[in-house]
Structure formats: structure tokens, C-alpha cells
């Protein structure tokens, strides 16, 4: 009896130990957040709500879990910039075709397209403009002022990458742009890049193309299969209802292992209605299968480029070992460049 009793006690003890060990194992491996927790973490960190909704399920969990458990592996940059959209419109209204060709090297077809679109703005009623762009009465009054000939207008000048006019009309639209670099450790050198944008209102200049450009050093390869992207086009009327649909940018890797440019329409016609790009997001991975010892630091840069004139539409990406540069031509208004350090 004593032997049976002892055997029974030992068996119970082993069962308890077994379940205890498994319980500890579950606790040690259950560091991942739930999807609800992950979305809250991303929202608290300034991620755009629309972007969170479009992110892949596994990316939300992985990134948010890293932010909580390994914050040193996640770099987050955010910039909010106000664009003066009306200066470019004022320039086109107050500059004749000959000057546009001589001073700004514009082609006849570019001038024609731009002036046709400006004429549509001039001919639209205030109510139509409010519905199209989701703007207030005071904002529409500023647009009307920019659309009229101004005898005191001064020739356009260049300040940095921003086209400015006489300063007689100042109308702003706010762009929020984020970039995140996550060292995900899936290779000796591996960074998952996430970026997103959001316009506070539909831009007035809507007949051209916008770009998001990235540049990085270290000759890290782009995993083109990892690219995920969307652009949400919204129709602002009939006010206040907002309808939308999704499109995707076109991508160019140039130069190879150093840069990526995403290009997309500022607006598109869909089912007979005009829709404008108001929010969007891009993610991709850059990697290398060997790491220097000691590791070398380089940068990844990014900026949003809003095309305002068909002038000098160039985006230049340069690299020299760990040094990297990103520059834009005359026809773009750009956000400040966000930059983060990566090790390779």
C-alpha cells in the first residue's frame, strides 16, 4: 500500500511539474500583442488611422510588438508641413505662354493642359469648388483671388524646393507624412520600412502626379516582393458624403540598391466623378546577407513630393558608400526629408 501510495504521489507531482513547465513556456512565448492592442499602439504612436486599417495583419502585430518589447529596433519619424498651393496657380494665371516657355522651359502641351485645368477652376461655381475640394468659404475666396489676373504680380522665384510667387495670395493645405524603420532581424541586415501620408484637404492642383521618394546607403538590396502599397482616392461631394476607392502607385528602383520612387496620379476619374489622392501608404524591406564587423552606419531618407508645375521634374538619388542624398527638381513642393540611421 505504501509503495502504491508513493507511486501515486510521485505521479501527481510529475503531472503538476509538467503543467507548470508548460505554463511557464506559454508565458515566455506570449509576448505578441493582440490585434486590438497592436492597433492601439500604432495609433498612439501617430500612425494614420486609414493606414493602420490597410496594413497587413501580421505587420501590425510584428511592428507594434517590437515597439513595446524592443523599442530600440524601431525608429519613427513624422513631419507635418503646410503647402502654399496657390502660388503656382497664381504664376500660371499671370504669366503668358511665351514667358512660360522661355523662363521655365515648359512645352506647349504642358502649358495647354495646365491652363485648361485652371480654366475649369475659374468656370466652376463656389458651391462646386467647395464640394470638389472640401474647403470653407474663406478658402474658396483665396482660390478665386489666385485665379484672377493681378497687375502687381511679381515673377516667380525659387526658395529651396518651393515655388513662390508675389506673396499676394497665401493659401495652405496641410500634409502629414510618416516613416518608420524597423530592424526586424530576418537577415543579418534587414529593415522593414513603412510610410504613409494624409492631406487635410483635397489639393487644388490635381491634374499632375505626386511622388514619394526613398534613398538609402550601404548598397542594401530591395526585396521587391515585399512592396505593399495603396492610394485612397476620395470624392468630396455631394457634400458632406465622402466616397472613395483604392489605387496603387507605380514604382521605379533607381539607382538599384539605393533608391525607390513611387509615382501616382493626384486625381482620377471614376464612374464619371473626380476622385483625389488624400491618403496612402507604402511598405517594403531592404536587406543584406552579411554584416560588417564593426557595423557601418548609413541613412535612409524619404520625402513626399507634390508636383505643382511641369518644370524641372527630376528626382535625384545619389550614393557613395554610406553617404546618400535625395534632391528634387523645380516643379515640386516637398515635405521636409525624414531620415533614420541603419546599420549594415
Write the pLDDT tens digit of every residue in 61-79.
999 999 999 999 999 999 9
pLDDT value of residue 56? 93
Cα 87 to Cα 328: distance, rounded to the nearest angstrom: 18
Q: What angle do CA 115, 116, 119 make, to 5 degrees?
A: 85
pLDDT tier for residue 160 given thresholds of 50, 70 and 90: very low
pLDDT value of residue 54? 93
pLDDT value of residue 52? 95
Mean pLDDT, rounded, for 187-201? 94
Cα 1 to Cα 12: distance, rounded to the nearest angstrom: 16
Lowest mean pLDDT among 18-22, 85-89, 194-198: 18-22
Chain centroid offset of residue 295 CA: 29
> Higher pLDDT residue, 343 or 100?
343
Give the CATH architecture of domain 74-344: Sandwich (2.60)
Mean pLDDT, rounded, for 75-91? 87
pLDDT value of residue 309? 66
Strands (DSSP E) contained in the chain are 74-84, 157-159, 162-164, 172-183, 189-199, 209-216, 221-235, 243-247, 250-252, 259-265, 267-270, 273-288, 297-307, 315-320, 323-328, 332-334, 338-343
- Tell me: pLDDT of 134 over 70: yes
> Is this prediction's pTM over 0.85?
no
> Higher pLDDT residue, 206 or 188?
188
pLDDT value of residue 235? 80
Mean pLDDT, rounded, for 256-261? 91
Mean pLDDT, rounded, for 160-189? 72
- Tell me: pLDDT of 157 over 80: no
Mean confidence (pLDDT) of the chain: 81
pLDDT tier for residue 11 given thresholds of 50, 70 and 90: very low
Write the pLDDT tens digit of every residue in 295-309.
999 999 999 998 876
pLDDT value of residue 152? 82
Query: 301 is written with which cell numbers?
Result: 531618407
pLDDT value of residue 237? 62
User: How many C-beta neighbours within 10 Å does residue 176 have?
Assistant: 18
pLDDT value of residue 171? 56
Write the pLDDT tens digit of every residue in 265-290.
998 877 767 788 999 999 999 999 99
pLDDT value of residue 89? 86
Mean pLDDT, rounded, for 167-177? 69
Cα 183 to Cα 297: distance, rounded to the nearest angstrom: 13
Cα 85 to Cα 300: distance, rounded to the nearest angstrom: 28
pLDDT value of residue 314? 67
Judge whether 252 and 159 are in contact, CB under 8 Å.
no
Helices (H), 31-147: 35-44, 49-54, 57-69, 86-94, 97-104, 108-123, 126-133, 137-146
- Tell me: pLDDT of 256 over 70: yes
- Tell me: pLDDT of 211 over 80: yes
Break the chain into its structural domains and give their ranges: 74-344
Phi/psi of residue 12, nearest 5 degrees:
-65, -40
- Tell me: pLDDT of 50 over 80: yes
Amino acid at each position: 500500500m505504501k509503495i502504491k501510495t508513493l507511486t501515486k504521489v510521485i505521479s501527481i507531482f510529475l503531472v503538476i511539474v509538467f503543467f507548470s513547465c508548460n505554463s511557464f513556456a506559454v508565458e515566455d512565448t506570449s509576448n505578441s500583442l493582440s490585434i486590438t492592442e497592436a492597433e492601439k499602439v500604432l495609433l498612439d504612436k501617430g500612425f494614420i488611422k486609414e493606414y493602420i486599417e490597410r496594413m497587413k495583419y501580421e505587420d501590425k502585430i510584428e511592428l507594434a510588438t517590437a515597439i513595446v518589447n524592443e523599442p530600440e529596433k524601431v525608429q519613427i519619424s513624422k513631419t507635418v508641413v503646410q503647402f502654399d498651393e496657390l502660388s503656382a496657380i497664381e504664376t500660371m494665371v499671370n504669366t503668358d505662354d511665351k514667358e512660360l516657355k522661355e523662363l521655365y522651359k515648359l512645352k506647349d502641351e504642358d502649358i495647354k493642359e495646365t491652363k485648361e485645368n485652371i480654366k475649369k477652376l475659374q468656370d466652376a461655381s463656389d458651391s462646386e469648388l467647395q464640394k470638389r475640394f472640401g474647403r470653407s468659404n474663406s478658402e474658396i475666396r483665396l482660390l478665386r483671388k489666385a485665379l484672377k489676373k493681378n497687375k502687381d504680380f511679381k515673377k516667380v522665384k525659387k526658395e529651396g524646393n518651393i515655388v513662390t510667387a508675389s506673396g499676394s495670395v497665401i493659401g495652405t493645405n496641410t500634409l502629414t507624412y510618416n516613416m518608420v524603420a524597423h530592424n526586424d532581424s530576418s537577415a543579418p541586415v534587414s529593415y522593414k520600412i513603412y510610410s504613409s501620408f494624409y492631406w487635410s484637404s483635397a489639393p487644388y492642383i490635381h491634374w499632375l502626379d505626386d511622388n514619394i521618394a526613398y534613398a538609402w546607403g550601404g548598397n542594401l538590396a530591395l526585396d521587391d516582393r515585399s512592396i505593399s502599397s495603396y492610394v485612397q482616392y476620395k470624392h468630396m461631394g455631394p457634400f458632406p458624403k465622402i466616397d472613395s476607392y483604392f489605387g496603387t502607385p507605380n514604382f521605379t528602383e533607381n539607382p538599384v540598391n539605393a533608391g525607390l520612387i513611387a509615382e501616382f496620379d493626384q486625381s482620377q476619374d471614376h464612374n464619371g466623378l473626380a476622385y483625389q489622392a488624400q491618403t496612402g501608404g507604402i511598405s517594403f524591406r531592404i536587406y543584406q546577407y552579411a554584416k560588417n564587423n564593426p557595423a557601418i552606419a548609413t541613412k535612409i531618407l524619404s520625402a513626399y513630393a507634390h508636383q505643382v508645375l511641369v518644370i524641372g521634374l527630376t528626382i535625384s538619388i545619389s550614393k557613395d558608400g554610406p553617404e546618400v542624398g535625395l534632391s528634387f527638381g523645380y516643379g515640386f513642393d516637398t515635405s521636409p526629408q525624414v531620415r533614420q540611421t541603419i546599420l549594415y
